[in-house]
A and B are shown apart, each in its own frame.
Chain A
């Protein structure tokens, strides 16, 4: 399991997390060490096994189709860093 600069760059882009130059070496080492250890599970034969996504199987949880206005909904976006009027402002997203 090799973690190259290319792989690190790809993952950091997918995760939208910039990687500090000074942390690169440490991160590559960490990822390599940890992911190599996790590769242990490859040795388990699992072709026809189901994947357990949740430990228990609760029955269907449905919500009836009624509008419930959140009290103080005007405050919900109060803590946004950048706004213009009631809209949220971001860099251009085309």
Chain B
């Protein structure tokens, strides 16, 4: 298998369309974003009524440039809005205002970890453009909803330097993570606030020129990105092996059948007649504007810092920093517990489970209370099992762990003498099992532990109990 695939090289590039989280649209003051309802968020400008003109949204401009700065792209002081001309019912003006030969950002890169390796994917460019409306296809007619028409989009294009479909989906994740950190996009693939197109081509090893590019449009989950790319890679390699030529085309991924189909549209033949939009002056930002673009700590930097400061593996660190608010919470708790490893387990376990169930973003338990809980575990005052129950209580009610322990009388029994007393009781009450144990039925050890737990209502410190029981049984 390996030998055959070594004959072909794969080049994958990504094209991400991210809806910017502005209040109003890119060139008009009606509401932007995902809004249910039909033709409610509209305005003469976004409907392209006669005589209307575009005016650029200041916040969209800032968000765009922030993103460009975050990927360390070359930010152009001067860039141009161009008209992309074509006819389609969800495009009211008959042209889309976009950026063509003079985008505001060129180059840059996306950094992330994959299998604990540092990966850097080079970007081609980033530009600003407006979104179209939505069409509902009903067989022999279509229905158009203009709510979305005019929403600001950021188009992020990578260079075709990815060769592994898994890396491709990680790259999309990394872009999403970055956009969420910058608070410029929700990054919701299912809802469509972020859309992903993939380009893939294969060529025989040794050939310098890239093969015919196939575009896979609008894949709306990370899993589907991987599956579609794997399918397409295999399909293209198969074609080349059979001596068939591959053509540049657009294909749709069918997730139910796990295959791609040719779109057979004339899209590649379209002449968009790009020209600079005369209604918008050349975009000319000041030095001051560029200097005032404040960036937070970016995901990749935070990941690296977590690796260094807390000694996590890069993959684990990357998971922990996925959401910056959660990462901040993490760090605040760690300051008070000094046990990052234990905390990371809680993070990936209990916290994620609760967040998902309650549909919340950050753990609502005050930092000091959670830290106290972890410290109590460390000191042996409560068991992990007990801690999980206390944790759930704390999530739902604003109580400190000490309060809950007191109320429910949950303190773990760790005193040697007390434990010895309980253990001795159990052994005295179960002489037959003691004898069986001594004759080799070592599995009965669990029975004794269980009995002590029963007597102590689960409060016995398990490690200590185990040690004491062993000792007692030996001495018997």
Contacts and interface: CB of A to CB of B under 8 A. Distances in A.
Please tell me whether chains A and B touch each other in their complex, using a CB distance cut-off of 8 A: yes
Interface of A: 14, 16, 51, 53-54, 57-70, 73, 76-77, 84-94
Listed residue (A53, A87, A94) with the most chain B CB atoms within 10 angstroms of its CB: A87
Listed residue (B43, B136, B273) with the most chain A CB atoms within 10 angstroms of its CB: B43
Given A67-B24, A92-B138, A92-B141, 16 more contacts: A60-B56, A60-B281, A61-B56, A62-B55, A63-B24, A64-B59, A65-B60, A73-B42, A77-B146, A85-B38, A87-B143, A87-B145, A90-B89, A91-B140, A92-B142, A93-B135
B42 A87 contact: no
B143 A69 contact: no
Main secondary structure of the interface of B (DSSP, over half): loop
Contacts of A93: 88-90, 135, 137, 142
Contact of A91 (B43, B142, B145): B142
B238 interface: no
A16 B43 CA distance: 25
12 contacts: A65-B60, A66-B23, A66-B24, A66-B29, A68-B29, A70-B42, A76-B49, A87-B145, A88-B89, A89-B141, A90-B142, A93-B90
B186 interface: no
Q: Which 4 pairs show the lowest CB-CB distances between chains A and B? A: A65-B59, A68-B29, A87-B143, A86-B38
A55 B320 CA distance: 54
Contacts of B57: 62-63, 65
Contacts of A92: 137-142
Contacts of A89: 141-144
A16 B141 CA distance: 19
B191 interface: no
Contacts of A76: 42-44, 47, 49
Contacts of B106: none
B376 to A, nearest CB: 47
B309 interface: no
Interface string B71-98: 0000000000000000111100000000
B281 A57 contact: yes
A55 to B, nearest CB: 10
B322 to A, nearest CB: 27
A25 to B, nearest CB: 25
A60 B285 contact: yes
Contacts of A73: 30, 40, 42-43
B278 A53 contact: yes
B475 interface: no
